[in-house]
Homo-oligomer: A and B are copies of this chain.
Amino acid sequence: MSSKKITFDDIATYTNFSKSTISRYFNKPDLLSEESQEIIRQALIDLNYHENKLARALANGQSEFVGIIIPNIYLDYYAEVLNQLLGTFEKHGYKFLVFLGDKNKEIEKEYIEELLAFNIEGLIELSHSIPSKELVEYNIPVITIEREDENINSINSDNYEGAVMATQHLINNGCDMLIHVNTIIPPNAPARKRIEGFEDTCIQNKVQFKTCIYDFGNSREETEETIKQFFDECEKLYSGINKGIFFANDHYAIKFLNLIFKKYGYLPDEYQLVGYDNSPIAQDSILKLTTVSQQISELTTEAMRELVLMMEERKKSSSPKKIPILHKKVKPKLIIRDTTKPLNNIKSLTDGSM
């Protein structure tokens, strides 16, 4: 088979139609008879013709490309977000040009320039480097997921609500002291709301609480060392107290659970643990972890739905009417598994009222 590109001329010669008839077939096929269409259809197969969408994109400005900039895909959360976004091809037909943006702002801007050079119709930004006020200036449809979004449309998990669910569950289960373990979060990042949700719920319920913010470092070893320190502190300072610990992610919770299990061989009643994210690890651990699901499938469905609306609006007009900035929140879901349980029946009944 030859790799020579088949042109309209070639198809015209092969079918004995004029070149303009061939052009019409691609642009306004209804103007041709069924019979002519069938002859051309067969010719395309015979000649092994591939439609040149690049040429079409150039002609009408509709590349069908959406750019995605994502910090990485070794974290379960990002892998699942990308997995779900790519899966929307079947529904919307947009193809995805994917860049890893876990770098600095200048490099990320180069990626956006690169994406613009290929006429992307829209951009999904998950990376944190470029402030939203600069993203706006690119003047293309953009939607962000779980990052600073002051000046731009975004879809985020309702982090406040997720923290409230986790905290209320621990309180309902009869924990006497609540602890929240989190890392240093960039200012304005939506995930900060988890701290607020935790603290507000504790205050409203008049429960003793502690918020522990650690620098977990940049390696698995540093993270493990930090969790070990926190575990030793819990054992020393809060022995005999029913502790409800709400971790900022499942990985911290699992590392803590492993330390408990190695020491006791089981999870003592005085510990109740809740993670965040519903990562695969939450079900592969020694005990299945109670956790908060961010409902990634809903999050990505909504993100694409909004982006498609913006892109379609843009196709109608290159200076679409100003509409208010959209900050949509997706309700998370508490998933109760084996690391939490009611310490007495009376209190547990209140779970039903949530």
Contact = CB atoms under 8 A, between A and B. Distances in A.
B63 A74 contact: no
B98 A96 contact: yes
A333 to B, nearest CB: 18
A270 to B, nearest CB: 18
A206 interface: no
Interface stretch (A11-19, A29-37, A176-184, A254-262): A254-262
A73 interface: yes
12 contacts: A3-B140, A3-B318, A52-B58, A52-B119, A54-B57, A54-B63, A54-B118, A54-B119, A74-B280, A79-B79, A261-B261, A284-B285
Interface residues of A, number: 58
B57 A4 contact: no
Given A3-B319, A258-B286, 12 more contacts: A54-B57, A58-B58, A73-B86, A74-B80, A79-B79, A95-B114, A95-B118, A255-B284, A261-B261, A265-B265, A265-B266, A280-B281
Contact of A52 (B51, B55, B117): B117
Contacts of A265: 265-266
Nearest to A83: B73
A54 B58 contact: yes
Contact of A284 (B57, B100, B140, B281): B281
A220 B283 CA distance: 9
Contact of A1 (B2, B50, B53, B137): B137
Interface of A: 1-5, 50-55, 57-58, 61, 63, 72-74, 79-80, 82-83, 86-87, 89, 95-100, 113-114, 116-119, 137, 139-140, 220, 251, 254-255, 258, 261-262, 265-266, 280-281, 283-286, 314, 318-319
A185 to B, nearest CB: 22
A113 B82 CA distance: 22
A1 B137 CA distance: 7
Contact of A117 (B54, B119, B251): B54
Contacts of A80: 73-74
A79 B258 CA distance: 25
Contact of A82 (B73, B284, B285): B73
